Amino acid sequence: MKRDVIRRKSIEKTNADTEADSREGGVQSVDRALSIIETLAEDDEGYRLSDLAIRTGLSTSTVHRLLATLESRRFVQFDRTQSKWHVGARSFTVGATFARRRNFTAQAVPYLRKLRDLTRETANLAVVDDEFIVVLTRMESREIMRSLTKVGGRVAMVASGVGKAVLATYSDEDVSAIIRHHGMPRLTEKTITRPSDLFRELERVRRQGYAVDDEEACMGLRCIAAVVYNDCSEPLAAISVSGMTSRLTDDRLATLGQTVREVAAELTLALGGLVPAATAG
């Protein structure tokens, strides 16, 4: 059965599209309202009205007006005890469609559980959306200190284990295009910020069949990832284990990498996919 491929090309607006947008009076309000929802999603603690105005670059009166509309539709909610705004239930309902559309999420759960139990670390399932990594679901480690990533969180491809695992299946031209679109921001002192270093890293990923995020997105956190393929041997998703560097030590990386790779291959087969011959060995 044909499945969605996680690679997605960016669509750039033409001049005609931009002119059409400017003629539609409601477009700016929609854009601002969505910006508010995206900002609220960045922090589980929520934001005060004044903080939202600063974060979005909008006036307090504009933010208040948009929040009132969003609240009436349950896309945001107000905590009167803390005087803070949060993402509402309706936002979750709409966002959950993203995961449901990728109908392999439920099928992946037993394999994430297996990966969590084998490694004793948090197991994640992620996809690429608009050239960013999005975590769809996870199985939390039973250890006291856990991974810091969260479901629905967006991470740059070049600075994540899952992202590098997927990028290793792309052509150099596609990788260069992503770098041009999003740059290579330094998230930590270990983030790869030079294209030449990234290309060398992707060659290593292709040879070993798994990718490692070595504190590149968050200091103290490591992630090991491998790709899940569709029936055309194209990347469908990726799974990973993530945990504290003190547990994902250097002497465990190769063993953990092989485990992640094997479970990813098992999930690929369960979904009717096909592991490319070059990576099957």
pLDDT at 3: 42
Q: Which is more confident, 150 or 264?
A: 264
pLDDT at 70: 92
Q: How far are the Cα atoms of 39, 144, 203, 241 from residue 148, in angstroms, in the given order?
A: 19, 12, 28, 12
Least confident of 63-67, 147-151, 245-249: 147-151
Phi-psi region of 125 (alpha: psi -120 to 50; beta: other; left: phi over 0): beta
Mean pLDDT of 215-236: 92
- Here the tokens at position 266 are 């098992």
Average pLDDT, the chain: 84
Q: Dihedral through CA 191, CA 194, CA 200, CA 205, nearest 10?
A: 40
Mean pLDDT of 85-92: 84
Span 25-81, pLDDT tens digits: 458 889 899 899 988 888 778 899 999 999 999 999 999 999 999 999 888 999 888
- Here the tokens at position 4 are 């969605």
User: Quick check: 126 and 238 in contact, CB under 8 A?
Assistant: yes
pLDDT at 43: 79
**Structural domains present in the chain:** 15-93 (1.10.10.10), 102-280 (3.30.450.40)
CA atoms within 13 A on the CB side of 160: 27
In this predicted structure, the answer to whether residue 90 has a pLDDT above a threshold of 90 is no
pLDDT at 21: 41
In this predicted structure, the answer to whether residue 102 has a pLDDT above a threshold of 70 is no
Confidence class for position 135, pLDDT limits 50, 70, 90: confident
3-state SS assignment for residue 31: helix
- Here the tokens at position 93 are 């309902």
pLDDT at 97: 63
User: Quick check: 122 and 242 in contact, CB under 8 A?
Assistant: yes
pTM score, whole prediction: 0.66
DSSP string, 123-160: EEEEEEETTEEEEEEEE--SSSS-----TT-EEEGGGS
Query: What is the percentage of the chain residues whose pLDDT exceeds 70?
Result: 82
Q: How far are the Cα atoms of 105, 134, 152, 272 from residue 98, in angstroms, in the given order?
A: 10, 10, 10, 21
pLDDT at 7: 40
pLDDT at 110: 94
pLDDT at 19: 43
Mean pLDDT of 220-235: 92
CA distance 55 to 57: 6
pLDDT at 148: 53
Nearest to 166 by CA among 125, 233, 226: 226
Span 113-127, pLDDT tens digits: 999 999 999 999 998
